[in-house]
Structure 1
Amino acid sequence: MFNRVWLALTGLVLLGGGGATLAAGVLWASRPLVTAATSRWVAAHSWFWPAVAGGSLAVAMLGSVWLAAQWRCRTLRRLAMGDARAGATRLAARVAIRAIVADVTSYPGVRRVRPRLSGSARRPAMRVRVMCDADADLGELAWRIRDDAMTRLRTTLGRADLGGVIDFRVKRDDLDGERRVV
């Protein structure tokens, strides 16, 4: 949520700045971009352009760090059983991962399962990457994973809020992976 708010505010500021610049360009098209007084002031102050470059570099670095932080996805090591705010019992996340692997691997047409539990203790999310045969019924597999394996895992953990994404990989050249939200 925090990232979305900052992204929306940044977008609004940039949109407003671009709109104001465009409006100024249309309204004052016959005027010079920089006045003679401004040119003289910039020429008299040798620190101006290095300061502009430093400020631009700082903004670029902050943007790069923020962008790199978006790619980082934290893998959960421990998962709370029940309500995380009520001091719930914690268990190793690999236990939940092994349970979903055991369930999904037993389904027909499934070759390999790679689950990943991410998010936070209060808002966990499961991503299940399923490698399956080319003739597997993806709709049936998605239904079984969502309504059977994930429901069993949610019930076992006491976590009705445990959501996730199923990412199918089919062993065929002309078919890309298909994604379904659980």
Structure 2
Amino acid sequence: MDRHPAHANRTGLILLGIVLLGVGGAGLARGAGLFGDETTRVFSSDVRSFADDNAWFWPAIAAVTVVLALLGLLWLIGQIRTRRIPELAMEPDPDGGRTSLSAKAVTGALQREIEEYPGVRRARARLLGSSRDPELRLNVTYGHRADPADLRRRIQEEGVPRLCAALERDTIPTVVRLRLVPKDEPTTVV
């Protein structure tokens, strides 16, 4: 999953928001007379007379602005929300009760197992998607002593199959990212 477009999207929107906030604040300050007593007309006389003749004009402008603000807020919430799964439903039969398993517990066990492999400094696992069709994202940081081919093989033949067995699934789509850490870089636990 390439996060560059999402990062650029958020950065551009933050900058646009800052510019619009500054322009809006300057307009509000000017309207309040904080820049002096001179008044500059924003609208032409035709627009002002149209607004004066139609009582619905300013409430309609306010309603459109509120709708746009709410749409923008919903879009922003959608940008922040993740696809991370909080728990997995283990019992497919609703008549038999509800059995769920914490996704954090499952991924934590997988992380601890992989961190015990020779040369691994840190592992981070996340389950994304839905409880019915989970996907595994695994980031593994390793040192120079680790063999990346052997590390990949162990993850593929030992770690992921154990996760599949724990979740009672044949397979789970998995993305593994291996990252070599330079010798002098300290290991940080997050």
Measured against the shorter chain, the TM-score band is 0.5 to 0.7
Is the CA contact (8 Å cut-off) linking 1:123 and 1:161 kept in structure 2?
A: no
Partner of 1:102 in structure 2? 112
> In 2 relative to 1, CA 168–43 (structure 1 residues): closer, same or farther, beyond 3 Å?
farther
Report how far residue 52 of structure 1 moved. Answer: 2.8
Any stretches of 5+ residues in structure 1 without a counterpart?
Answer: 1-36, 174-182
Offset from partner CA, 1:144-182 (integer Å, 9 cap, x none): 323431122113321235334334343249xxxxxxxxx
Secondary structure at 2:118 match in 1: coil
Partner of 2:172: 162
Deviation of the 1:95 alpha carbon: 4.0
For 1:106, give the aligned amino acid. Answer: E
How far apart, CA to CA, are the structure 2 residues paired with 1:47 and 1:142?
Answer: 66
State the match for 1:120 in structure 2. Answer: 130
1:132 and 2:142 are equivalent in the alignment:
yes
What is the aligned partner in structure 2 of residue 180 from structure 1?
none
Residue 79 (structure 1) aligns with: 88
- Partner AA of 1:117 in structure 2: L
Which deviations, in whole Å up to 9, do the C-alpha atoms of 1:90-119 show, x marking residues without a partner?
334344224312331232321011223344
The answer as to 2:146 corresponding to 1:146 is no
Q: Does 1:48 align with 2:57?
A: yes
Give the aligned residue type for 1:85: P
What's the TM-score once normalised by structure 2's chain length?
Answer: 0.52
Change (3 A) 1:51 1:138: farther
Cα distance change, pair 47–139 in 1 and its aligned pair in 2 (3 A) = farther
1:52-80 superposed Cα distances (whole Å, 9 cap, x missing partner): 34313422322322332332226544323
The residue aligned with 2:43 is: none
TM-score (norm 1): 0.54
Give the superposed CA RMSD: 3.5
